[in-house]
């Protein structure tokens, strides 16, 4: 089995609670009604690509429970192949999310079934894949194995270094695209946000994309840096916006777009997503982008 875009990553159900402010340590804060959405970095990225018409598959795991069913239904509705999503005896992963009135979120993740994903699961599914996307919501050894296996097969590899963690120099050197936000870039460079993004290529990747929230993104390639601005929107929920960007970027790269053009389209997708509630339900289709 193969697809143009292969996403290796977690599938979680998002339990989202609106709050006026986040509680401090030892403090209780009352929130609004809990909303349940399909989520998880892997599943979100796959759905974002699928809703844009990409040939995409998710390699992951869910539990044999109602949350697992919700995730599988959402993936399939977006056109994502779920043949590589294993059902395990562990509970489906859950993300506990608070969202403040300005649309910003704070997230606690319980991985559950996602922890049962085996690195070697990727070995037999890389033939024919054009772009592979993986994030750091998986254990670092798994990520490093997946990146090395894909690179050895000549697959274009995109690593979303989120949540930020240290990976080996060999892993960074195997990347076609390193995707980070400005804080992750600063952590990687051991400096304050705003440092010269060209330094990211010194760590090994052939290109890097730094997301800047409402300001857009910076695309770093060997021949220079390109700034891509974001449309001005009124955000209501930023949950999953980075995943929307990653999925749209992968979809465009698999279709043959250059990195700057792919980033420009992905910025538009992410901007739309923050104007809607939830992660996967907020992602636009190709038809919506054309309107």
Binding residues for ATP: 181, 211-216, 242-243
Residues within the annotated binding site for substrate? 12-14, 40-44, 137, 243
- For residue 197, give Cα distances in angstroms to 106, 183, 191, 208: 26, 12, 11, 8
For 107, residues 6+ apart whose C-beta sits below 8 A from its C-beta are 95, 96, 97, 239
* 4 in catalytic set: no
For the chain, give me the number of helices (H) and strands (E)? 8, 13
Which positions make up the binding site for K(+)? 237, 239, 273, 276, 278, 282
Instruction: Give binding residues as ranges.
Output: 12-14, 40-44, 137, 181, 211-216, 237, 239, 242-243, 273, 276, 278, 282
DSSP single-letter state for residue 277: S
Phi, psi values for residue 86, rounded to 5°: -90, 140
Q: Residue 102: name the closest of 213, 212, 236 by CA.
A: 236
Distance CA 70, CA 14 (A): 11
Instruction: Considering the candidates 55, 121, 176, 243, report the single residue annotated as catalytic.
Output: 243
- List the catalytic residues: 243
């Amino acid at each position: 089995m193969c697809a143009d875009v292969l996403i290796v990553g977690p599938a979680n159900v998002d339990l989202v609670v609106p709050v006026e402010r986040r509680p401090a340590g030892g403090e209780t804060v009352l929130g609004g009604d809990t909303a349940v959405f399909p989520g998880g970095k892997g599943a979100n990225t796959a759905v974002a690509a699928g809703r844009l018409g990409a040939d995409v598959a998710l390699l992951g795991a869910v539990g044999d429970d109602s949350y697992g069913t919700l995730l599988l239904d959402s993936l399939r509705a977006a056109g994502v192949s779920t043949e590589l999503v294993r059902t395990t005896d562990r509970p489906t992963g859950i993300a506990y999310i608070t969202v403040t009135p300005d649309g910003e979120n704070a997230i606690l993740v319980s991985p559950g079934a996602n922890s049962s994903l085996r690195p070697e699961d990727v070995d037999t599914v890389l033939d024919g894949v054009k772009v592979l996307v993986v994030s750091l919501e998986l254990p670092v050894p798994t990520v490093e194995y997946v990146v090395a296996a894909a690179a050895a097969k000549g697959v274009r590899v995109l690593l979303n270094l989120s949540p930020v963690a240290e990976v080996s120099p060999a892993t960074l050197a195997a990347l076609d695209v390193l995707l980070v936000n400005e804080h992750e870039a600063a952590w990687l460079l051991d400096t304050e946000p705003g440092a010269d993004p060209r330094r990211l290529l010194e760590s090994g990747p052939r290109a890097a994309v730094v997301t800047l929230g409402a300001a857009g993104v910076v695309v770093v390639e060997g021949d220079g840096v390109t700034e891509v601005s974001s449309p001005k929107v009124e955000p209501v929920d930023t949950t999953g916006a980075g995943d929307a960007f990653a999925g749209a970027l992968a979809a465009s790269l698999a279709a043959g777009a250059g990195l700057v053009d792919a980033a420009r389209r992905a910025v538009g997708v992410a901007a739309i997503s923050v104007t809607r509630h939830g992660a996967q339900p907020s992602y636009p289709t190709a038809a919506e982008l054309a309107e």
